Amino acid sequence: MTDPDDLSAKALEIHRRLCLVYGCPVAYFHDLDPLSELVSSLLSHRTRNAASSKPFKALRRRWPDWAAVRDAPTAEVEEAIAGVTWPEQKAPRLQAILRRITELRGALELDFLTEMTVEEARAWLEGLPGVGPKTSAAVLSFSSLRRAALPVDSHHHRVAARTGLIPGSLPVGPSHRVLAAMLPPDWDAQQVYDNHEVMMLHGQRCCYYQDPACHRCVLLELCPTGQALMPPARISA
């Protein structure tokens, strides 16, 4: 059995090397309130960021607030978010989530999450219909709440699996808790965010799904997958 402490040390070394390549701290890409971040995250599921940003802006232009989106005809919401993957599923799901928040809180806002621990806030969010670990972490990390929650997207997951931090058979959802446990418990929100960002960027820019660029990867000597793909002479300390 692999020593968890060894994996934590490896995760930190991977983080250190990737920060040298991609630059840490990484700037936050926006500053949405947590409810708006929830909407954005739901729209971005299985959709490229560039493709999901237009429908998000379309919702904001068409209706004055998220309560109006909640109460709008579902067909109109679906039309507004037509650029995302599966708009016919996301429109009713989004409205159902907005209704559920209103039922639970008596108001349509998520600022109260700042009063909870990260674990409590994630559990509350994941109690909403269709909200999983990635979305709950994104709401806490990416929004103006700026909490130390680790999102794991497909790129992040691929780098973690190929470097041996997690088994390749471990799904993305359960990997959130496993990968977060490898990070120091005293890391602040920026450091946790940096870890997600550099892992994701490395997956996008080097550790491709097909034909990874192992020959120029700074993680090669730490990566059993890359070492298996590269001639021994190309692997150097």
pLDDT > 60? residue 236: no
pLDDT of residue 237: 46
pLDDT of residue 180: 98
Own/partner pairs, 92-96, CB within 8 angstroms, 24+ separation = 93/42, 93/129, 93/130, 94/39, 94/42, 94/43, 94/69, 95/69, 95/70, 96/129, 96/130
What's the DSSP call for residue 84?
S
Helix (H, G, I), strand (E, B) or coil at 165: coil
pLDDT, one tens digit per residue, over 190-221 is: 999 999 999 999 999 999 999 999 999 999 99
CATH number belonging to the domain at 4-26+151-229, selected among 2.40.30.10, 1.20.1250.20, 3.40.190.290, 1.10.1670.10: 1.10.1670.10
Question: Is the Cβ–Cβ distance between 43 and 82 less than 8 Å?
Answer: no
pLDDT of residue 234: 56
Q: Domain 34-142 class?
A: mainly alpha
The upper half-sphere exposure of residue 132, i.e. CA atoms within 13 Å in the direction of its Cβ, equals: 13
Which is nearest to 88 in space by CA: 73, 96, 78, 102?
Answer: 78
| CATH 1.10.1670.10, the chain: domain bounds | 4-26+151-229
Which is nearest to 110 in space by CA: 13, 224, 32, 162?
Answer: 32
> In terms of pTM, does the model score above 0.85?
yes
What's the DSSP call for residue 30?
-
Banded model confidence at residue 233, pLDDT cuts 50, 70, 90: low
| CATH 1.10.340.30, the chain: domain bounds | 34-142
- Please state, in angstroms and as integers, the Cα–Cα distance from residue 115 to each residue in 27, 119, 202, 221, following that order: 25, 12, 34, 43
Is the backbone of residue 203 left (phi > 0), alpha (psi -120 to 50) or beta?
alpha
- Please state, in angstroms and as integers, the Cα–Cα distance from residue 201 to each residue in 18, 161, 182, following that order: 9, 15, 19
pLDDT, one tens digit per residue, over 7-61 is: 999 999 999 999 999 999 999 988 999 999 999 999 987 656 556 688 999 999 9
pLDDT of residue 230: 82
Q: Which two tokens stand for residue 228?
A: 């298996």
pLDDT, one tens digit per residue, over 108-148 is: 999 999 999 999 999 999 999 999 999 999 999 999 999 99
pLDDT > 80? residue 231: no
